[in-house]
Amino acid sequence: MQTYRNTLNGTLVDPVSCYEIFNPANGQSLGMAPESDEQEVDRAVQSAKLAQNSWAKQGDKERRDVINRVAQILEENSDYLAELITREQGKPLSGPGSRFEMQACVGWTQVPASLDLPPEIVYEDDERKDTLHRVPLGVVAAIAPWNWPLMIAIWQIIPAIRMGNAVVLKPSEYTPIATLEMVRLINQVLPAGVLNTVTGDGSIGSKLTHHPEINKIMFTGSESTGRRIIEASAKNLSPITLELGGNDAAIVMPGTNVKNIANDLFWGAFLNMGQTCACIKRLYVHEDDYDAVMAELSAIASQMKIGDGMDESVLVGPLQNKMQFEKVQELVSDAKTSGCDVREFGEVPDQGYFMPLTLVGDIKDGQRLVDEEQFGPALPIIRYRDLEDAVESANGLDAGLGASLWADKPAEASKLATRLEAGTVWINQHGAIHPMVPFGGNKASGYGVEFGIEGLKAVTQSRVVSLKK
């Protein structure tokens, strides 16, 4: 059985202890993952600290070249890493699955490499000239989740190193293998110590975020862990970027041609079996359009093949882990016992964390499947009569990562868009992130943004040089 290893200071290290990783589609063993201890966390942070100095001193062009070579390595190893993602995380190779995740990794590496944050003259007159420089923060702790393990790790790693920081990454305990392999591969072109990993459960994440030499924390995950990260950051006054998921609402505006939008609505909700931070998690539909929406989504759901994502014809895989599987089952069973109209689609294999694609009608705000983030393939569809009520419902929860409006006349949706309390409001699409466009949450979905120029600024501190003329 293969034992995967952490990378510290450019070297693969033999683990002190290990734990086994299983394929969520069939329960088969995938190998052993290392379990870091406190000493290893400290070694990783010290390696990063040492490497960061010289990495930051390298010229901008050199850093950019190295990152472009990282993109090349990701591209060359896409098939290998995509297979590992499918076996470990569960998303299929095909469709918007693990190959798609690898394409995103490449794109989100190339774009930051192409961007610049040159010094900016913020004020000048006859007597003075003030120039704002963006300098690195130092060592970045990156805490990644299990839903898009490589893509989200790349979102954290690449802007950080582009701006001259060094990184210690902790993947989720559920999905360390593909991430460790990706880090091993890209370390072939990175200077030793610029990117290190530690592995284990949340307690290792906690040791990392509490380490006295951490200068910035980037976190994607649950709100409850996010609150612990904020507490940890108090120790070093580390700035944080927090992406805490959400409970995204989508509103189909009255009279919208449902046929035109059904496919995008479906994938907006069921991408990665719904285990995506910015998926549609509550769908609000005008009462006159409700039957049409149900019919169109049912037709699409009933055509999907559910199974092991290594099969090229499969577009829907298992949930990633038992915790998530049980959580979604519980929410669906609550909806069933409350008398909702629960419609299940797809033939589900006997073993693995598979669930049917589930549409839940006759459900209202205040019920668990609507109010709690399901993070799985069970979509509540809620009728509304008055568009104002739908807007109020969409804004009625604490979460505010994404939201969307669906309309035949986008101009009408645009008028409403800024009233939705979310970091991104999409029109006639959902979750359509882009490496140039800032992405982050409002309200309890976190703070700070990733991507584009704003994302680069978030991994720097400003230093003003003020000259008397």
Catalytic residue set: 243, 277
CA distance 410 to 427: 7
443 binds ligand NDP (CB under 6 A): no
Pick one of 201, 312, 341, 389: the residue that binds ligand NDP (CB under 6 A): 201
**C-beta closer to ligand NDP: residue 145 or 455:** 145
Cross-strand pairs, 29:
22
In the complex, least distance from residue 4 CB atom to ligand NDP, rounded to whole angstroms: 15
222 binds ligand NDP (CB under 6 A): yes
In the complex, least distance from residue 103 CB atom to ligand NDP, rounded to whole angstroms: 19
320 binds ligand NDP (CB under 6 A): no
Return the H-helix or E-strand segment holding 286.
strand 282-286
Per-residue contact string for residues 375-394; x = within reach of ligand NDP by CB under 6 A:
x-------------------
15 binds ligand NDP (CB under 6 A): no
Total residues contacting ligand NDP (rule CB under 6 A)?
Answer: 28
422 binds ligand NDP (CB under 6 A): no
CB 159 within 8 A of CB 458: yes
439 binds ligand NDP (CB under 6 A): no
450 binds ligand NDP (CB under 6 A): no
Query: In b/e form, how buried is each residue of 344-360, taking b as 16+ CB within 10 angstroms?
Result: bbbebeeebbbbbbbbb
Name the maximum alpha-carbon separation found in the chain: 77
36 binds ligand NDP (CB under 6 A): no
In the complex, least distance from residue 195 CB atom to ligand NDP, rounded to whole angstroms: 16
Which of 259, 330, 336, 348 lies closest to 296, judged by CA? Answer: 259
343 binds ligand NDP (CB under 6 A): no
CA distance 210 to 208: 5
Alpha helix locations (H) across 271-424? 290-303, 322-337, 368-371, 387-394, 410-417
**C-beta closer to ligand NDP: residue 174 or 345:** 174
Stretch that binds ligand NDP, among 56-64, 214-222, 280-288, 298-306 (CB under 6 A): 214-222
211 binds ligand NDP (CB under 6 A): no
**C-beta closer to ligand NDP: residue 98 or 225:** 225
Alpha helix locations (H) across 314-367? 322-337
CB 448 within 8 A of CB 458: yes
220 binds ligand NDP (CB under 6 A): yes
In this structure, the strands spanning 6-8 and 11-13 are antiparallel
88 binds ligand NDP (CB under 6 A): no
Pick one of 156, 209, 236, 460: the residue that binds ligand NDP (CB under 6 A): 209
CB 29 within 8 A of CB 1: yes
Amino acid at 215: N
Instruction: Label residue 376 exposed, middle or buried (CB < 10 Å: 0-12, 13-18, 19+).
Output: buried
205 binds ligand NDP (CB under 6 A): yes
CB 136 within 8 A of CB 56: yes
Q: Give the HSE-up count for residue 223: Cα atoms under 13 Å, Cβ half-sphere.
A: 15
373 binds ligand NDP (CB under 6 A): yes
Cross-strand pairs, 255:
none
221 binds ligand NDP (CB under 6 A): yes
**C-beta closer to ligand NDP: residue 191 or 226:** 226
Contacting residues toward ligand NDP, per CB under 6 A: 143-147, 170, 172-174, 201-202, 205-206, 209, 220-222, 225, 228-229, 243-245, 277, 324, 327, 373, 375
